[in-house]
Structure 1
Amino acid sequence: MRDGARNYFATKEDALLLPYPDQAERSVLVAEAVVTAPDELTPLDAVAHAWRAEVERVDADRDEWPARLSVLADHPSPASRVIAMEAGDQRRMVEAIARRTGLATDDPYPTLVHHVADGAPRACLRHWQQLGGARSLVELMDHAVRSVAGGLPVPPAPKAGPRR
């Protein structure tokens, strides 16, 4: 973690689990960006658009983030705390999608869009972490969102090498 980063957090575990000291405020801004995204964007694209700056920030910090993600992958106890801490963010996003679509928050569609949209960065972050940040996270996310929006077509299989 960056020098001095721990000074913003109550514990070392909080410094690992909370990417930024202003995480709650950032979550509110991202949810509002979903509501105010250009009208021509689908709800899924509006969520991806709102997350773009956050994904770019993570992508730019290729020294810290793959290591942070590796620790979380290897230690399930802190990862379960992350899930609990994200509950408020998830609620805000579902509410934002509901506002954008004009649907009630208890309609399944806003929750479905959130879960589908949330799966893209989770899958991309895992792959990006396994690559040690060697590829652009932004490009991985763009591809994932296009794939989901396109009905999640099966990608072509890599060409097999000679059989032994």
Structure 2
Amino acid sequence: MAATIRTPSRDTVAEAQPQPGLRERKKLRTRIAIRRAACRLISEQGYEATTVEQIAEAAEVSPSTVFRYFPAKEDIVLTDDHARAMEAGLRARPADEDPLDSLRHVMTEGLAAFLAEEREDVIQRTRLMVEVPAVRARMTETMATTSELLGHALAERTGRDHDDLDVRVFTAAVLGALREVMLYWAARDHQDDLIELMDHALTTIKGGLRL
């Protein structure tokens, strides 16, 4: 179903991205500490029973610091830097490439790298998306940020305004496909090949739903 996907190495990704400064690295370490503490506590005692105060104590930061990095508890599960990585990847694709093919490349490679580096984290996060309505609802809200980033990049590639209806519909369709793929994968106990599912979903968008 899917073409062979080349998983980018850490070295390749590092070379393509500007290196963060000391302050940015410190912020990243704090974010990671908070997320890891949250994942551990949620795994041990469940999502609803885990409080922000407990997460803060486990991460050795204050509750206000947690909220500074993650405005809502659901954001600890959902928020990451992959939206900006997707935007950067999209801008790096050949200018004459079909927009959907560019997104297919960026999204499948991004998912492959994410799975290779943080598979258990991805599994837990997608499981919570299925099991916890608040997380699932927040996921839909946070996709607005991703949509804005990708919409601007797509608009520039196609010579359109970022608020163009076609750009908005196209971006929403692709991100909707990503959302449904993640939920479908988690609901089926993560048994399917996530990359093949994403590739198949984008093929469906391109070809339509046929009888």
TM-score range, shorter chain: 0.7 to 0.9
2:207 corresponds to 1:150: yes
Task: Classify 1:79/1:123 alpha carbon distance in 2 versus 1 (closer, same or farther; 3 Å).
Answer: closer
Pick one of 96, 102, 107 that aligns with 1:51: 107
Q: 1:15 aligns with which of 76, 96, 100?
A: 76
**2:189 is equivalent to residue 132 of structure 1:** yes
- Which one has more relative contact order, counting CA pairs under 8 Å at least 6 apart? 1
- Cα displacement (A) at 1:123: 2.0
Indicate which of 36, 51, 66 corresponds to 2:123.
66
8 A Cα contact 2:129 2:136, kept in partner:
yes
Q: Which residue of 2 aligns with 1:35?
A: 91
Unaligned ranges ≥5, structure 2:
1-31, 38-58, 68-72
- The separation in 1 between residues aligned to 2:184 and 2:140, in whole angstroms, is 19
What is the distance in 1 between the residues matched to 2:90 and 2:159? Answer: 13
Task: Give the AA of the match of 2:91.
Answer: V
Structure 1 unaligned regions, length at least 5:
155-164
Deviation digits for residues 32-87 of structure 1, max 9, x if unmatched?
A: 32233123431122222222232113444443333322222222223333333332
> Normalising by the residue count of structure 2, what TM-score does the alignment of the two structures yield?
0.59
Residue 92 of structure 1 aligns with an amino acid whose one-letter code is L
- Structure 2 CA distance, aligned partners of 1:29 and 1:65? 17
Give 1:112 deviation, angstroms.
1.3
CA-CA distance at 1:13 after TM superposition? 4.2
State the AA in 1 paired with 2:120. D
Question: Normalization by structure 1: what TM-score?
Answer: 0.74
Q: How well do the aligned residues superpose, as a CA RMSD in angstroms? A: 2.7
**Cα gap change, 1:133/1:90 in structure 2, threshold over 3 Å: closer, same or farther?**
same
Q: Which residue of 2 aligns with 1:106?
A: 163
State percent identity of aligned pairs. 24
The answer to whether structure 1 residue 5 and structure 2 residue 50 are counterparts is: no
Instruction: Report the residue type matching 2:36 in the other structure.
Output: A
Q: Is the 8 A contact 1:43 1:97 kept in 2?
A: yes
The number of equivalent residue pairs is 148
| Contact 2:108–2:199, Cα closer than 8 Å, also in 1 | no
The one-letter code of the counterpart of 1:136 is: D
Higher helix share: 2
Q: Which residue of 2 aligns with 1:162?
A: none
Q: Match for 1:84 among 128, 132, 141? A: 141
